[in-house]
Homo-oligomer: A and B are copies of this chain.
Amino acid sequence: LLARSQPSSSVGDVRERDLIARIQQRLPPAPDWVILGIGDDGAVVEPERNRVEVLSTDAFVEGVHFDRAFVPPEAIGHRALAASLSDLAAMGASPRLALLSLALPTELPLADFDGVVDGIALLARRTRLCVVGGNLTRSTGPLIIDVTVMGTVKRRQALTRGGARPGDELYVSGTIGSAAAGLCLLRQNAGTVPLSASSVVERYLHPEPRLRLGMQLARNRAASACMDLSDGFSDAIHQVAEASRVGAIIDGDALPMDPVATGVFESRGLDPLMEAIAGGDDYELLVAVRPNVRARFRAAARPDVSVTRVGVCTAERKVVLRRQGRADSLPRGGYTHFGA
């Protein structure tokens, strides 16, 4: 009891029900389709009429997906939820509900717990996502945030990875490599980075899931395939190519990069393009578009985020990178071995 009133309390000093109450305090009131929210054996919700449901789970593991040494608690929460929301964006779904499963080291400061929850709650509020339940448990190791989300979309409008055809144009939203550059800076400077680098640091700490773009593309049917870049551009283009049974030619010189990111990589003697292609955590969308609906696609994207044409789908099932006149097979990137 004494421990609870100390400013340096950790989650291990607090009762589970009090931790749940702290989460509830940070969440907005539930909408009326939530029949029973947090507090029973399960949540009870009314499904949305005339829509199909999109479900996705993502885990954020300390030491694998984030480092508490230089990522503030609120950004940890934001990123964990953004990763799941990005999957909904890539399917063209509107966010509906989430379940949070938190595995907490008992020595986690209570203020950090509150910060993680704040990061989740703020993004949930902004995207009209209702947290209907979840689970709290002790962790004997890392802090783990597991988020399951459900969104909805009209049945024939769900975007998939598998609909691209030879001749379809390939676009990405925003920039690539920014989050990787931001992480690079944060890691080397242990949390203190020059103000001039804030654009890329922000892209790492507070990625913006492209929900509006995804929903627009679902509605106006301008996308033949869509996927998010969570594991990097190279991984995404290979996944879309495989699922759609096509190949692709990527124009390396066209890939959209933040000049700050280019500078970060160059100053470390790295090839900016290859870093940007391999780097993850961008949460932008890769979209395949039939040439005859190009205008419709650009109109859908305009109010929300810039989109850049980066290549074309081919019948020959190879992924090729063209740069400065040369054409090479694009390395898949991302990790190939689970243990890597």
Contacts and interface: CB of A to CB of B under 8 A. Distances in A.
Contact of A56 (B43, B65, B91, B158): B43
Interface in A28-82: 35-36, 39-48, 51-59, 61-65
A235 B236 CA distance: 47
Nearest to A51: B47
Contacts of A36: 158, 160
Contacts of A144: 103, 139, 144
A25 interface: no
A15 B340 CA distance: 9
A24 interface: no
Contacts of A48: 47
Given A12-B338, A52-B35, A64-B140, A133 B44 contact: no
A227 interface: yes
Interface stretch (A93-101, A114-122, A174-182): A93-101
A105 to B, nearest CB: 9
Contacts of A46: 52-53, 155
Given A47-B47, A144-B103, A59 B137 contact: yes
A15 B141 contact: no
Contacts of A41: 56, 86-88, 90-91, 161, 227-228
Interface string A302-317: 0000000000000000
B140 A63 contact: yes
20 contacts: A11-B338, A13-B338, A35-B158, A41-B227, A42-B87, A42-B93, A43-B54, A44-B91, A44-B153, A44-B158, A45-B53, A47-B53, A55-B97, A59-B135, A61-B137, A64-B137, A139-B141, A139-B142, A140-B141, A146-B146
Given A41-B227, A55-B133, 6 more contacts: A41-B90, A43-B55, A45-B55, A101-B148, A138-B339, A146-B146
